[in-house]
Chains A and B, each alone.
Chain A
Amino acid sequence: DVKVTQSSRYLVKRTGEKVFLECVQDMDHENMFWYRQDPGLGLRLIYFSYDVKMKEKGDIPEGYSVSREKKERFSLILESASTNQTSMYLCASSLTWGQTQETQYFGPGTRLLVL
């Protein structure tokens, strides 16, 4: 079974704090993704990564950065948290298999509240 874990289920931070959200997958997947989920807006892609040290912007990268130093770990960083970053953050990973898109498997999510 694919296992994607996220460092925290719930997180409360103050405006201006630097926030790290960690995601680890144990299936040797090449691809990893960060989404945020908000009521009425669905899932929106923040950043993704095809390989170690590689990153690509998704639909809403502003205010976020990412780090992928090891294949199994993909970190989302909020350099200076703001209240509009209060959201549910979901990490996902997928395998690279030839030239086809593969299924994304998701972690349990982190509910972040920025006060």
Chain B
Amino acid sequence: AQKVTQAQTEISVVEKEDVTLDCVYETRDTTYYLFWYKQPPSGELVFLIRRNSFDEQNEISGRYSWNFQKSTSSFNFTITASQVVDSAVYFCALTNHLKTSYDKVIFGPGTSLSVIP
């Protein structure tokens, strides 16, 4: 069975601190995609990144970076020098790479990040 765990329910940091959001997944698929989405208070889920299971290179985009480790089934997300605008709920998600039939996206429960000025 596929599962995504985000053990941190809520995190509070002071502005300019770095923060890492943890994501651990379970799957029997050999190829899969992992995603991160951001949901600000307005409600829309904003796509941040998609990572293919056979590409374990870490990725950096501005203040955001992602650490994918297949050996520990983790896909952690780090925000450097956090800002108030980073306050949101962040979801990690997993799906099969191949659409042989519809394989739904499995979302984690989300981590609520509050960045305090």
Interface residues of A (CB under 8 A from B): 9, 42-43, 45, 48, 50, 56, 58-59, 88, 90, 92, 96, 99-101, 103-109, 111
Contacts and interface: CB of A to CB of B under 8 A. Distances in A.
Contacts, number: 53
Interface of B: 33, 35, 37, 42-47, 50, 91, 95-100, 102-105, 107-110
B33 A101 contact: yes
11 contacts: A9-B43, A45-B104, A50-B102, A56-B102, A90-B43, A99-B98, A100-B97, A101-B95, A103-B50, A109-B43, A109-B44
A103 B102 CA distance: 13
For chain B, what secondary structure do more than half of its interface residues adopt (helix, strand, loop), or is it mixed? Answer: loop
Given A88-B43, A101-B103, A106-B44, 5 more contacts: A43-B107, A90-B43, A101-B97, A103-B33, A106-B37
Contacts of A50: 102
A50 B101 CA distance: 11
Nearest to B107: A43
A17 to B, nearest CB: 22
Given A43-B107, A45-B104, A100 B43 contact: no
B107 A111 contact: no
